[in-house]
Structure 1
Amino acid sequence: MIKIPNKEFLTRIENLRELMRDQDLQACLIYGDEYRKENLRYMGNYWPLFERGAVIVPLSGDPIILAAPEGEMFCREMSVWPDVRLLPEFNCVTVPDHIEYPLAHYTSLTAISKQLQDSHSLHKLGVAGIDAIPVPLMNIIESSFEGIAIVDAADLLFKLRMNKSANEIACLQEAARIADAGYKLMIEQVRPGMTELELASLAYGECTRQGAEHMPFCLITSGDRVKTIIGRPSSKVIEEGDMILAAIAVQVEGYIATVNFPFVAGTMTEEQKAFIDVLVEAEESGLARIKAGAKQSDVVRAVKDCFQKHGMTQYDLYPPLHGCGLAEAESPYPDENSAAIFTAGMTVNTDVSLFGHPHGSNRIEESLLVTDNGYESMSKLVRHLSKTWRTIREISVN
């Protein structure tokens, strides 16, 4: 079974503490909930359901996991850290009502603050996730740590998460394998007359059967709906000759790989083939510039130059590359002016896209590992489709 071993979480804690010392932080509070889980999952392997969560990392001693009573046992089941404490402010996020939990043994942030002040001479607290913390909860954090300087520590987590370990890469590769299986099934079984929801169900079912922990999204639009750029599958009936814009993201142990390649229900027109030709050419041009030490902006320019050559710049809406990992899209997200360079162990997604063109809207997306010599694609399916496209120029199902 692919997973992140406990010893790697210990290494992450020590790496964070090194950065904390550089910024004179005596503790760091890392927030997460069902929707913004990445940093909390990275440091504590906890992914809250319905509720809020956090991990407090002091400069020494065991981290403290903050949770809510309904999910306490679930938290203990997931978390690598045994010190779990309950806060009423972390209860169900979707209702304003006060919920009684008569068996809960609550603590308070004030009590935790006092403990940290006594044991670590706390005078400066880093908080990662300030952008996701609700204002009322942030007010409680500030009042509980009164007299303590609170600073945004999000950059520490982004820095730690940028390059991936062998175990993280293995999780992403497994997620990509599963995504390939679900996407391949949709290509093979799409038929005019089925609904977008029916098509999506094939991917959901296959990816779950293959071991996906979660599918953050399954985007499907068809026909005129592809102009929406992104869209959830609907009850729209897929018609003969409809271009399908689909993308599925699969999560394994928190790590997310994404697959997207254009296909058509029924017979593909020459205009649709020519449109996909440009996407394939643009992605291949960008891929040729990915390797450790290369400028990320060169990839962006290569794709944009290809679109310009074919007179499609007006349909190019955003940069064609972003990071991937515990979020489907994470740093880096370079543009033409980015000074950042690729480093070995970085994981990224291509997202080579054209939207609003008369003959379709679509993208090619695959997750990649940056290496010293270039890149390794995690999607055997997308690589196969791209490499064979020029010869077969047909993915339609007749």
Structure 2
Amino acid sequence: MLRIPAEEFAARVEKLRALMNEQELQACLIYGDEYRKENLRYMSNYWPLFERGAVIVPLIGEPFILAAPEGEMFCREMSAFPDVRLLPEFACVTVPDIIEYPQAHYTSLTEIRKGLQGSGPLHRMGIVGIDAMPAPLMRILEQSFGGVELVDAGDLLFKLRMTKTANEVACLQEAARIADAGYRLMINQVKPGMTELELASLAYGECTRQGAESIPFCLLTSGERVNTIIGRASGKVIADGDMIMAAIAVQVEGYVATLNFPFVAGAMSPEQKAFIDILVEAEDIALSNVRAGARQSGVVRAVKAYFKERDMTEYDLYPPLHGCGLAEAESPYPDEHSEALFIAGMTVNTDVSLFGHPHGSNRIEESLLVTESGYESMSKLVRQLSSTWKETATIRVI
């Protein structure tokens, strides 16, 4: 079973402490919840369910987890660190009510502050996840840590998460393998007369059977409903000749790989073939610009230039590349003017797309590992579909 080993979490703590030293931070609180799990999962492996969570990394001393009563055992199962403390403020995120847990053994932010000061003066504390934290919780933190400068330290985790270790890549590769299996089943079994929900259920079921920790989404629309950037599967009946726009994201040990490739239920029209041709060619152009040392903006410029050449600019609605990892879409998200370079060990998604075209809306998306010489695609299925399409102009999988 794939896992991020304990020693890797320990190494992340030491790397974070080095960055904390540079910014003169005596402690760092990394916040997360069920919906914005990435930074908390990265530093502690904890992914809250219904509740809030955090890990506090002091400059001196052992990291510890902040959790809530219902998820305490769940937290202890997942957490990379044994010290788990409960806070009433971290209970159920979906209700305004104060829920009583008579058997809970709570600490308080005041006690936490005292403990941190036991390791030395506490003047500055970094907060990672301010953008995801509810304003009332941030106010409580400010009150409890009055006199301590609270600093937005989100950029520290951005630096740490930018490139991936071999263990992280292995999780992404496994997520991509599972996503391939679910998507392959949809292509093989799609037929006119089934509903979008029936088609999507095939991918959900197969990905779960194959070992997905979670399926963050399976976007699926068909026919006229593809005229959107994203869309949930519905009870719409798929008709003969309907283009399908589907994207499936699979999570393994927190890491999310995504794929999307256009396909059609029943007979494909010449116009649909011409549309898919353009996307396949644009994807090849994007891939040819991915390599360590190259500017990320090169991908964006090259794809936009090709779409302009094919009179597709009005259907080109956003940049064709973004990062991937502990979120389906994470930094970097370059535009035409980005000066940032690709770095070996980065993981990114192409997201080459056209929306609102008379003959369809769709995208090609695959997760990539950036290498010194170029890239490695994590999706064997997307590479197979692309190769088969260029040879036969058909969507066939084995």
Q: So what's the TM-score if we normalise by structure 2?
A: 0.99
The equivalent of 2:141 in structure 1 is: 141
**Could you say which residue in structure 2 is the equivalent of 1:81?**
81
The CA distance in 2 between the partners of 1:128 and 1:331, in whole Å, is 15
Residue matched to 1:205: 205
Q: Does 1:107 align with 2:81?
A: no
Deviation, 1:98, is 1.2
- Offset of 1:251 from its aligned partner? 0.1
Cross-structure match for 2:92 = 92
**Aligned-pair CA distance for 1:120:** 2.8
Secondary structure at 1:73 match in 2:
helix
Q: Which stretches in structure 1 are left out of the alignment for 5+ residues? A: none
- Give, in angstroms, the shift of residue 222 of structure 1: 0.3
Question: Residue in 2 aligned with 1:301?
Answer: 301
Superposed CA offset, 1:118-140 (max 9, x none) = 22311100000001111110010
For residues 160 and 151 of structure 1, the distance between their equivalents in structure 2, rounded to whole angstroms, comes to 17
Matched residues in 1 for 2:11 and 2:249: separation?
Answer: 28
Amino acid in structure 2 at the alignment position of 1:123 = H
Equivalents in 1 of 2:343, 2:96: separation in Å? 45
Instruction: Tell me the equivalent position of 2:348.
Output: 348
Q: Percent identity?
A: 77
Which secondary structure state, in structure 2, belongs to the residue aligned with residue 131 of structure 1? coil
Offset, 1:392 = 1.4
CA contact (8 A) 2:30 2:40 kept: yes
CA distance, structure 1, for counterparts of residue 61 and residue 115 of structure 2: 12
Partner SS, residue 332 of structure 1: coil
CA contact (8 A) 1:266 1:396 kept: no
C-alpha contact (below 8 Å) 1:286/1:302 kept by paired residues: yes
Query: Which residue matches 1:310?
Result: 310
Paired AA for residue 249 in structure 2: A
CA distance in 2, matches of 1:120, 1:366: 48
Q: After superposition, give the CA deviation of every residue in 1:52-105 in whole Å (9 maximum; x if it has no partner).
A: 000000012110100000100000010010110000000000011111101000
Alpha-carbon distance between aligned partners in 2 of 1:356 and 1:184, rounded to the nearest angstrom: 26
> How far apart in 1 are the matches of 2:227 and 2:184?
23
SS in structure 2 opposite 1:225? Answer: helix
Amino acid at match of 1:143: Q
1:1-398 to structure 2, matched below 5 A, reads 1-395=1-395
Aligned residues: 397
Question: How far apart are the structure 1 equivalents of 2:244 and 2:304?
Answer: 23
- The whole-number CA distance in structure 1 between the counterparts of 2:167 and 2:133 is 29
Three-state SS of the structure 1 residue aligned to 2:389 is: helix
Identify which range, 266-275 or 108-117, moves more after superposition.
Answer: 108-117
Give the alignment's Cα RMSD to 1 decimal: 0.9
Is the 8 Å Cα contact of residues 355 and 361 (structure 2) preserved in structure 1?
Answer: yes
TM-score of the superposed pair, with normalisation by structure 1 = 0.99
Question: Structure 2: any 5+ residue segments left out of the alignment?
Answer: none
Q: CA deviation at 1:396?
A: 7.5
